[in-house]
Amino acid sequence: MPQEFVGPSIDWFALSPLLVLLGGGLFLLVAGALTPRWPRGWYALASASTAGTAAVLSVFQWSIIDRDGPGTLVAGALAFDHFAQFMTILLCSAVVLVSLLCDDDVRGTDREGPEVFALLLMAALGGVVMASANDLIVMFLGLEILSLALYVLVASDRRRSESQEGGMKYFVLGGFASAFFLYGIALLYGGTGSTNISDIVAGFQAGVSTGREDALILAGVALLLVGLGFKIAAVPFHVWVPDVYQGAPTPITAFMASVGKASAFAALLRVLVVALPFHRDDWRPVIWVLALLSLTLAPMMAIVQTNVKRMLAYGSISHAGFMLVAFEAAGHRAGEADPGTGMQSVVVYLAVYSALTIGTMAVISLVSRAQGGDTRLTILAGLATRHPVLALSLTLLLIAQAGVPLTSGFVAKFGAIQAAVTEGSYVIAIVAMAAAVIAAFVYLRIMVTVWMSTAPGADRQMLAYVSLGAPADDADGDAADGDAAAGAAATSTSTATATSTEVDTTGAAIAPEAITLSTAVVIAATVTFTIVVGVAPGWFLDLAANVTNYAR
Amino acid sequence: MSLLIAFVASMLVGCGTWLLLQRRLSRIIIGVGLLGHGANLLLLVSGGRRGTAPLIGVGDAADFADPLPQALALTAIVITFGVTTFLLALGFRAWQISNDDVVEDDVEDRYIARRAQIDREVADEIEAERAQAAEEDRR
Amino acid sequence: MFVLLALHLLIGVGIVASGDRLGRRAFAVAALAPLATVVWAITQADAVLDGRPVVVEVTWVEQLGLGLDLRLDAFGLAMVALVSGIGFLVCVYAVGYFSHPKQGTARLAGLMTLFAGAMLGVVMADHLLALFVAWELTSVTSYLLIGNDDRSPRARAAALQAILITGTGGLVMLVGIIAVGHTAGTYRISELLADPPSGGVISGGLVCILIGAFTKSAQAPFGSWLPGAMVAPTPISAYLHSATMVKAGVYLVARLSPIFATTGNWRLLVLVVGATTMIIGGLRALRQYDLKLLLAYGTVSQLGFLMLLFGTGQYQIAQAGVALLLAHGAFKAALFMVVGMVDHEVGTRDIRELHGFGSAWSPTLVVGVLGAASMAGLPPLFGFIAKEKALDGYVEHGDFIGSGAIVIVIVIGSILTFAYSARFVLGLFGVFGTDDADPRSRAAHAPSVLFLAPAAVLTVSTVAAGLAPVLVDRLVRASTLALQPGVTPSPVELWAGFNTALVLSLIVISTGLVLTAYRVPLGRLQRRASDAISWIPSAEQGFLACLRGMTDGSKRVTALVQNGSLPIYLAVIVTVAAVAPLIPAVSVFPSLPKLIDAPIQIPLGILVVVAALGAAVVRRRIAAALMLGAVGYGMAGLFIVQGAPDLALTQLVIETLATVLFVLVLRFLPTKWADRSPAIARPIRIGVSTLAGVSVFVMALVSSAARDDVAAPNISEEMIARSAPDAKGNNVVNVILVDFRGLDTLGEITVLLVAAVGAVALARTGRRRLIPGRREQGHARPDQGAGS
């Protein structure tokens, strides 16, 4: 060969968070497989410290971007901007917390081992790739890494058939969503001649497109929205959420609700706001409809639930609705020099919600484990007498989710609504407020249960009245007369019912939950975040305001 | 791109969808496989141009088939394979757990819907109680 | 001021977190917070009354325009006197009331402190959003206080009703606040007062704000929650549901009326709602046998009265409002305390079960009678002065449309007030006692000094303010000035000369006496009248109906949306995904391309189609898997024709691997599958599948046509050009994979890795549980990397 080989210049340091995650995941897998079982807690420690390192490295990148401005990496495949770093820090922090939770959760089960923790790191890697993708194919790969890791994590509780069912459904529907996403990319490529976001934007800026290309782009956007709609779990693409959130091990539910949702929103932002600002008037109405549906339907469905994880699952759908409200507001300004507060509100909401959901799930995981894995609402009854501090923490996390002032939840919800009002989306803002009321009611119901004494023969009628849902006790009679399909599945339902009846009859005799150090750390961290951001949100909003300075 | 290819792709997707709408996981897996093939074909033909293999030095570059969709399709093939493998493992485990590979319905929400009746009765009862209390007040 | 708020928060959370350890001593601890506030307020009083408000400005969330601007002016001081003064007394009272603390009693003290803090926030906030924040906190703490007795279903239902109504009202108010603040460009009350905005949006926003105020202050038709809230322990009722929280709505109206009274329908709305509430509340109070409910409906009536006084925007009338606000706080809290003492010592509040008390009860009865007299508006008590001022204000200064009618409403309302005050006193003395067999009340132990002292203090202040109005004169005048700067309020006097108001007062008293004398026939008449109109749904029934509708609606939605069946979800999603891209595509449908590119495509195409159909219909698993393999090999052939040999090679390798895997796994499953109860009817499945196929067909044609349109030099050509010189590779596809898009390939490998980990993790159970030693799942794993 006449010429000397010149490799592409790669800024390895800028890639370091990604590399750390990948390396950590591989190390856990290889070292875990080759060495005998590590002492308890070490796997979690390894995964948490890996994610922590990645987050810290990302903080360094942040300051580099502050100095040099945003750019791209690896020949334009990855964006190197504040948004990417913000999401990296968010996702890695979530991994740290969830690792600690998983440590307690897997202990003594056949899931004990390096796989779960390696998969957490891999999932975060996928999420970070999605969030920093500057190329649609790269984004697709990130999506696949994340999704596959999540499928496995969801189905990881091998002994429970619920977990298995959940994993299967999530997988089939999720696989479908990925297929749509890929097909959407193909159509976008057909319409724009590129899969690189910078090139796509440059192409639009340069010239006029033909009608046929526009049709392809719109069709592509439609499919991308379907694919990502699944991942953010917006109505009507939310159908998998209740089953999967309920079926997955509780820390994994927290992981999905935080990392899964955040990554999908990040991808949505990259595709719509960054790559397709010129079509904002085409995609914004779709977001509007998704937000409206999520806001109105999800809380209504949450109200009637009797399983606390399921309630929170529907709650997460309604939170997605709020994020979409902010997103819609961001859509009004996509591509403009002044981006408004919409995008900032989305990321704030993501961070706040991630912390809240991890904290809440930490408490529920703790309580549910003490009660044999039951996750029905009744397990929380009497928590206040058993563990006042735990109950207080849970209450705080719940009122924050409900959006009560002086908590981070209020800051998030207010930001979203304020952004919508500023952009003149009054209808959706008012719907969001109404939805907040119904959603608040859902959390109120959980809180009431927490502070309710364990009264075994508690007035069934009034419970029904107050909770707007029949108490789960009368489940026994109905399970039998299900239709043919329900009959087979009743196995799982009735096992749950059986354990629950036991719990109910034993009433106050429930043993107090043993609070482990790692779970306590998680709860304390999330509660602190909730209060700090709730009381003094200024610095956090300032931080978030940076993210709109994307690499283009 | 020819009509025939478009037709083949549409048949693949159609059959795949048909299989997906079943309850058996093993059929769903095969459906996913068919869909994957359909998607790959589409990915390829969205490149538009059929041509000679894009090997530099072998033939004229102007006649080359578009290489980028090919590369994408290659990625997609491999990923579909990974997905299929995982699905198979899932099916295998479903079989171990339940001796069947049927994807069950989630009955919880249907079940809640059935209970609507009960709740309404409860609310009626409460109202009746209140009316009675009011009656007593009056006396 | 922040220190005070933080003190409330700290003490409140501390008490709640300490559980039941403190018992009733918790109330003694709780009393510290309002005591500190009162002391602080006294030190500030002089300056504040001179018109120099205490202002603390803190930017809370700059980015969202949220400020925690606190401002204590004279009107705020009057409210602080209510909130913290009565708060302190109630805490002392509660120590006596909860002589036998139950589980959760200490929590009441903590929650009450938190409430007091929130309420201080409401009256000190200058920023409307900060006010809203505190406002909602009072709703939440009120909910917890009402529902604290979690074993009582009534308590929980009442708590729920209260928070549903006030919480919803609060959120409506938030809409209004944002509308007003956004339009006016400021959320500061003081700035709004200085520069009143106007316009359509403002009018709409004001209606929303009023709805919030009405729900909070239990105005018709949102008042149904307040009587229900009486299930709370009496100290709570005395504090929240008569003296403070329910005044929040009135407070907001008082603050905003000077700014907005003439904007939109503000005045009309306030006056109509206030008048209706005043009359209905009075009528309802007259029918009660439960002393506490009587007071509750009386409170509703008085709140309507306060609305009438504050809603006009005229300072002369608002001045009466300030006086009545203070007077009502003093006498109503005292009366509630008396009822609580009766309830505590006798065990009933039903006037049919009271038969007079022993002589040791005299001080208590004096307190009760004086309180009721003040409520009825008898001279020389504070209540009289306030009502006199109100009538005088309306008669002399009411110059807007309908002010005459309001005077009549106030007179009627006052007559009713007199009547139910009399009923209260008569009930207390056992006039209504029906069951002489069990004269519990006469034998009841009299309340201790500590128990009585707080009510006595309030009564003394009522009498003192009545006899020497100069004590409150400065506060009332300064408050009026604070509400509306630049006016000259008149002095507060016991004897204002012989004027129309005095005549009206005399009419009220005499008519009230007549009503009391003829209470039996009148009561019968009233009952008949209320029976006659009982077909009109009450607000209570409306609330229940809403609740039930919400439940039913939710369930119906859940049943419809969340059906639980994977095939149905998939069918819906496929349909959406098939139709969505078709919509933009159909309009640009291109002319049909040629049938085939090369003859070899025909047999390959037929092979693929036939195998696909076969895979879809055969009933043997293995056969289906082999059919899928056949499709894959056919695809490889098509790839070659399309000019993609690399793809074809990969396809061949992968397909072989996949088929082997399939066969290995399917070996364990029964050879045939029986379709059990398909979730969707066959025609629908066929329809959906066909739709998907058609959609793909159309999109394939459109996309390939669009690809031909692209004129700009595209990325692939660049890659072909750069392949050999830059990357030293002649196979462009390979170069793309390993060079230009190397990152993708890395990601791809990661995907495979994750899939492999998952598959291994899943299959590992199998080895352990089923057939130890077999490694059928493990085999393919090392080969995967080779595939890519």
The rounded distance, in Å, linking the Cα atoms of A179 and C679 is 23
DSSP H or E segment with residue A146:
helix A136-154
Q: What are phi and psi of A72, to 5 degrees?
A: -125, 160
Please state, in angstroms and as integers, the Cα–Cα distance from residue A397 to each residue in A241, A299, A314, A523, C441, following that order: 21, 18, 16, 9, 48
> Residue A487: pLDDT above 50?
no
A548 Cα distance to chain centroid: 21
Tell me which residues of chain B, numbers 89 to 108, contact chain A at a CB-CB cutoff of 8 Å: 90, 93-94, 97-98, 102-108
Pick the closest to residue A359 from A398, A405, A333, A415 (CA basis). A398
Instruction: Please name the member of A29, A191, A462 whose beta carbon is closest to the beta carbon of C706.
Output: A191
Pick the closest to residue C313 from C363, C378, C269 (CA basis). C269
Please state, in angstroms and as integers, the Cα–Cα distance from residue C35 to each residue in A276, C31, C187, following that order: 61, 6, 31
Range with the poorest average pLDDT among B97-106, C105-114, C436-445: B97-106
- For chain B, how big is the Rg over CA atoms in Å? 29
A170-184, A383-397, C285-299: which is most confident:
C285-299
DSSP state at residue B51: -
The rounded distance, in Å, linking the Cα atoms of C488 and C315 is 9
Per cent of chain B over pLDDT 90 is: 4
The rounded distance, in Å, linking the Cα atoms of B69 and A273 is 25
Please state, in angstroms and as integers, the Cα–Cα distance from residue B57 to each residue in B49, B60, B64, C724, following that order: 19, 8, 11, 9
Split into its structural domains, chain B has a count of 2
Token pair belonging to C610: 């036939």
A421 and C178: CB-CB below 8 Å? yes
> Which pLDDT band holds residue C753 (cuts at 50, 70, 90)?
confident
Q: In terms of domains, do B24 and B89 share one? A: yes
- CB contacts, 8 Å: C570 with chain A: 172-173, 176
- In 10 A of CB A389, how many CB atoms? 14
Orientation of helix C382-397 relative to helix C403-428, angle to 10°: 170
Residue C3: CB partners within 8 Å, gap ≥ 6? none
Return the CATH number at B57.
1.10.287.3510
> Residue B54: pLDDT above 50?
yes
Pick the closest to residue A58 from A79, A86, A39, A32 (CA basis). A86
Enumerate neighbours of A (3 or more CB pairs within 8 A): B, C
Structural domain includes residue A159 = yes
What is the domain extent for residue B124?
106-139
- What pLDDT score does A396 carry? 92
What is the domain extent for residue A141?
16-473+509-548
Q: In terms of domains, do B21 and B58 share one? A: yes
Q: In terms of domains, do B39 and B96 share one? A: yes
Q: In terms of domains, do B12 and B52 share one? A: yes
Q: In terms of domains, do B47 and B112 share one? A: no
Please state, in angstroms and as integers, the Cα–Cα distance from residue A361 to each residue in A288, A367, A443, B58, following that order: 29, 10, 13, 60
Q: In terms of domains, do B41 and B71 share one? A: yes
- For chain A, how big is the Rg over CA atoms in Å? 23
Structural domain includes residue A503 = no
> Which pLDDT band holds residue B43 (cuts at 50, 70, 90)?
confident
The rounded distance, in Å, linking the Cα atoms of A202 and C506 is 85
Q: In terms of domains, do B71 and B114 share one? A: no
A166-175, B5-14, B21-30, C588-597: which is most confident:
B5-14
Note whether A153 contacts B: Cβ–Cβ < 8 A.
Answer: no
Q: In terms of domains, do B13 and B30 share one? A: yes
A168 and B25: CB-CB below 8 Å? yes
Structural domain includes residue A349 = yes
More confident residue, A448 or B51: A448
The rounded distance, in Å, linking the Cα atoms of A49 and A99 is 10
Number of A/C CB contacts below 8 angstroms equals: 272
The answer to whether the beta carbons of residues C443 and C45 sit under 8 Å apart is no
- What pLDDT score does C674 carry? 57
Q: In terms of domains, do B56 and B70 share one? A: yes
Sorted by where each starts, the structural domains of chain C and their CATH numbers stand as 266-517 (no CATH), 565-711 (1.20.120), 721-788 (no CATH)
Alpha helices in A378-483 (DSSP H): 383-386, 388-402, 408-422, 426-451, 460-467, 475-480
Pick the closest to residue C261 from C310, C323, C192 (CA basis). C310
Instruction: Please name the member of A115, A392, A485 whose beta carbon is closest to the beta carbon of C757.
Output: A115
Split into its structural domains, chain A has a count of 1
Choose the mutation target among B104, B114, B118, B124 for the interface with A, i.e. most A CBs under 10 Å.
B104
Coil, strand or helix at C731:
strand
Structural domain includes residue A80 = yes
- CB contacts, 8 Å: C141 with chain A: none
pLDDT digits (tens, 9 = 90+) for C479-522: 999 998 888 888 888 887 788 888 999 999 999 999 988 888 88
Q: In terms of domains, do B57 and B77 share one? A: yes
- CB contacts, 8 Å: C747 with chain A: 129, 138, 141-142, 144-145
> Which pLDDT band holds residue A436 (cuts at 50, 70, 90)?
confident
Look-up of token digits 């299900």:
A482
A137 and B82: CB-CB below 8 Å? no
Q: In terms of domains, do B77 and B115 share one? A: no
The rounded distance, in Å, linking the Cα atoms of B110 and C363 is 64
Span A132-143, mean pLDDT? 90
The rounded distance, in Å, linking the Cα atoms of A216 and A227 is 16
Please tell me the number of Cα atoms within 13 Å of B117 on its side-chain side.
Answer: 5
pLDDT digits (tens, 9 = 90+) for C510-546: 999 999 888 888 888 888 888 777 777 677 777 777 7
Orientation of helix C449-467 relative to helix C87-97, angle to 10°: 150
Q: In terms of domains, do B90 and B26 share one? A: yes
DSSP string, C142-185: HHHHHTT-TT-HHHHHHHHHHHHHHHHHHHHHHHHHHHHHHHHT
pLDDT digits (tens, 9 = 90+) for C774-784: 333 333 333 33
DSSP string, C608-621: HHHHHHHHHH--BH
The rounded distance, in Å, linking the Cα atoms of C241 and C247 is 9
Given phi > 0 = left and psi -120 to 50 = alpha, else beta, which region is A468? left
DSSP H or E segment with residue C483:
helix C470-483
